Every structure is written in C-alpha cells, then in structure tokens.
Amino acid sequence: MILLTPGPSPIHPRVQAALARPLRGHLDPETLATNRRIRAALGRMFDPGQGALVAAMPGSASLGMEAGLNNLADQGEAVLLLVNGAFGERMVEIAQAYRHDYTVLRAEPGQPIDPEAVGRALAQRPYKLVALVHGETSTGVLNPAQAIADLAREHGALFMLDAVTTASMMPLSMQQMGVDYAFTGSQKCLSAPPGLAPFALSQRGREHLGKARGWYSDLARVAVYWEEEGYFCTAPVSLHFALEEALNLALEEGLENRLRRAEAMHRAVLGVLEELGFQAYAPQEARLPTVLVVRPPQGWDEAELRKGLYSRGVSIAGGIGPTAGQVLRLGLMGESARVEPYRVFFRALGEVMHQNRLEETFLERVGWVQV
Ligand SMILES: *Cc1c(COP(=O)(O)O)cnc(C)c1O
C-alpha cells in the first residue's frame, strides 16, 4: 500500500532499518546517546535559540498541541486561538478541557487567518498566549505565521505554532520568527513511524511556564528525561531510533531543498489534476506545499475515487471537519513528495477515471524521471 495520506507518510528504508534495531532500555547509554543526537538535530530543525527545551514526547502530534496549551497557560488565563479548520478547532477543544479563558478568532475554512483581525483582537485585551496552526491540513491553507508572530510579540503574548505540516519540510527558525513553542508529529513531514511528538520550547517560553495540570503532558517532567537523563516514563526506544534516522535524512537533504521538492511536486500533481477538472480548495496565494486539497471534478464523488485508488494499492484521504465529503487530500510530506509514488497514483487514477496517459503526462510535467 502506498501511503499518500497527509500522515502517516511512507518510511524510507533507512528509517525502517533503524526501527528494526535490537531494543535497548530507555535509560541505556546507547539510547541516551541517541536522544542527545535527536535533540541536536531537532535544534537544527526548529532553531529555537539558547536555553530551549528540545525533545520528543511519547505520543502523537495532538499531545504536542495539548502540552503547549496546558503548559503555557494556566486555568483562567487568556488565550487567543486562531482557527480556520479542523486542527484549529482541536485547539479549542483542548482549551475548553483545560478551562482556559479563551477567545476564538475564526477565518472561513479555505481562507488564511487575517493578521489585521489578529491585531484588532490583541489590542482589545492582554493575552498570555496566541496559538496558530501553520499549515491547516483539513483545507490545505498556509497561514501567515510571521506576521502573526510579530503581532504576538508586539503585544507581549507568547506564540505557539502547530508546525505539524511544515517542520522539516520548510526552513523554520523559531528564534527569527519569534515562536516560543512549536511541535510536530513524527509521522508527518519527517516520514518516521507515528508515536512521537517532537517539539521545542524557547528560553522565554520556559520562563513563562504555568503550573501544568495533568501529568503526562507536563513539560517539566519531559525535561527530566531528555535533559537530566532521569526516569519520567518508559520511552518508545525503537521510535527514537527511527526518528534519529529520519532527522538525519531531512538534514542531509537540507530544509530548503525539501521545500523545493514539495513545491515542485505540488505544482506537477495539481497541474495534472486541474487538467482533469479537479480544483484546489485553497486560494493560490495561501496554499500549503505539503498537503494538496482538491475538489473532484463534476460528476465524481470523492469517496468513489478513494475506493478505486485503494483497491489499486494507493491510500489517500478524504476531507475532515469543514471539508468532509467534499475533497481529496494528498500528502506531499517527506517521502510522499516523490515522483515514484505519484507515478503509481496517476496510473491508478487513470484506470479509475478511464483516462489514458495520465502517468506519462505527470512524468512530462514533473520534468524528471526517477529510475
Ligand atoms: C495531523 C495533525 C495534527 C494531529 O496529529 P496526530 O498525530 O494525529 O495527533 C495536528 N495538527 C495538524 C496541523 C495536523 O496535520
């Protein structure tokens, strides 16, 4: 099965081999040495500046989201949540569960968050924390993170960025952008197995940590394991081995090169799909390179297309939240942003839609053929 969903993404053979290495204990010297290398690599990926806490929590990306909101704001503290899709709405559910004094600023699904509206909200009252999803996976929209980070800083708020669909596939410097907490999931752009939530918390973020409620998402406890090398919980050591290799692959390739690869694939895949009558959901100026969200052509049902592809060994996603039942979602993350899996995708799609030569059209468009 070829995984072209927006996570999990396909795993490189080097990562698969790392996953199969003999198990060690979570406090074994070799595991701890792996952890130190993971911290160094994540430091290069997030660039959070001096004194940051850099680690990977045992859980999916949603744990990274929950931990950020839980640790950076106490019960009753003011939080501004910027929402334009299903993952933004997840932040609202978490803020509700932790009883934050939250305000939600929404943009229409398919549209990016408007920084001017954020500026107006921030002028109305003080906020402890502003939280944004960088690339909204439900709609394929890339939000203007830099402009919003500047506004948060100007108004003295901490800034949390869900970088799940961007980190490792785009250069992201937390210290240059002004991000206090960013997180991702191992199974998205890093193309590692699911189960880890890599994150970075800036020095400034550490100085403003609240009293975390709960236990497992308490970042002070996570730091005991990753920084003091003491016991917090039993780490998923095999996943650490795999994550290290996935980080090596990303950094060897270079984040600028990865972004160019995602953009080139996005252009080629969308170009062929547009010729068939598919339409991108997000406006051109706000498209996320790593998740392509398209409406099917007239007369085609998204579920029917997915079923046809699945029976030919290609797994893609339908809509979620505001796009449920309306769109197809294609991952261009890590190992999915490559010619070979999309060649298979277009061959299968050609069969489903009774179109000849789709595979060839794609290869001509992408401009190079991978052996
Ligand atoms: C996938 C995703 C999440 C949640 O990730 P899980 O690993 O499924 O918990 C959060 N935010 C964004 C933007 C995502 O794409």
Hey, whose CA ends up nearest to atom 12 of ligand 1? 164
If you compute the radius of gyration of the chain from its CA atoms, what whole number of angstroms results? 20
Length of the chain (residues): 371
Contact present, 311 and 329 (Cβ < 8 Å): no
Q: Which of 225, 253, 281 is the last residue of a domain?
A: 253
User: Domain of 133?
Assistant: 12-253
Question: CATH number for the domain including 165?
Answer: 3.40.640.10
Residues 217 and 243 in one domain: yes
Please tell me whether residues 262 and 248 are part of one structural domain: no
Is residue 51's pLDDT more than 60?
yes
Residues 140 and 175 in one domain: yes
User: Does 90 lie in the same domain as 78?
Assistant: yes
Q: Which of 133, 162, 336 to mutate to test the pocket of ligand 1 (most atoms within 8 A of CB)?
A: 162
Provide the whole-model pTM. 0.97
Residue 6 alpha carbon to ligand 1 centre in Å: 9
162 lines ligand 1 (CB under 6 A): yes
Torsion of CA 36, 220, 237, 9, to 10 degrees: -90
Ligand 1 mean position, distance from CA 61 (Å):
5
Asked if 198 and 243 count as a contact pair (C-beta separation under 8 A), the reply is yes
pLDDT digits (tens, 9 = 90+) for 164-214: 999 999 999 999 999 999 999 999 999 999 999 999 999 999 999 988 888
Nearest CA to ligand 1 atom 6: 61
If asked whether residues 89 and 177 sit together in one domain, one would say yes
Q: Is residue 340 part of a domain?
A: yes
What is the 184 CA–ligand 1 centroid distance (Å)? 8
Find out whether the beta carbon of 164 lies less than 6 Å from any atom of ligand 1.
yes
Helix (H) or strand (E) holding 305: helix 302-310
Let me know if residue 34 belongs to a domain: yes
273/313 same-domain check: yes
First and final C-alpha spacing in the chain: 20
| Residue that is last in its domain, among 253, 274, 304 | 253
Across the chain, mean pLDDT equals: 97
80 contact partners, CB below 8 Å, separation of at least 6: 102, 103, 105, 118, 121, 122, 127, 129, 130, 131, 157
Domain match, 207 and 320 both: no
**39 lies in the same domain as 172:** yes
Which of these three, 253, 278, 298, is where a domain ends? 253
Same domain, 280 and 196: no
Q: How far is the CA of 63 from the centre of ligand 1 (A)?
A: 9
Identify whether 7 is part of a domain: no
User: Does residue 189 lie in a domain region?
Assistant: yes
Contact 308, 352 (CB under 8 A): yes
Residue to substitute in 9, 57, 62, 217 for testing ligand 1 pocket (most ligand atoms within 8 angstroms of CB): 62
Q: CA 348, CA 194: separation in Å to the nearest integer?
A: 26
Residue 64 within a domain: yes
Are 242 and 96 in the same domain? yes
60 lines ligand 1 (CB under 6 A): yes
The CB of 192 under 6 Å from ligand 1? The reply is no
pLDDT of residue 369: 47
Tell me whether residue 21 is in a domain. yes
pLDDT at residue 297 is higher than 60: yes
Domain presence at residue 37: yes
Same domain as 205, residue 347:
no
Is 130 within the bounds of a domain? yes
pLDDT band at 368 (very low <50, low <70, confident <90, very high): low
Q: How confident is the model at residue 21 (pLDDT cuts 50, 70, 90)?
A: very high
Q: Residue 91, CB half-sphere, CA atoms under 13 Å: how many? A: 30
Q: Distance, CA 37 to ligand 1 centroid (Å)?
A: 25
Give the distance (Å) from ligand 1 centre to CA of residue 358. Answer: 31
**Residue 329 among known ligand-binding residues:** yes
Instruction: Give me the CATH number covering residue 316.
Output: 3.90.1150.10
**Structural domain total, the chain:** 2
Span 14-29, average pLDDT: 98
Residues 280 and 231 occupy one common structural domain: no
Q: What is the pLDDT of residues 244-280, one digit of tens each?
A: 999 999 999 999 999 999 999 999 999 999 999 999 9
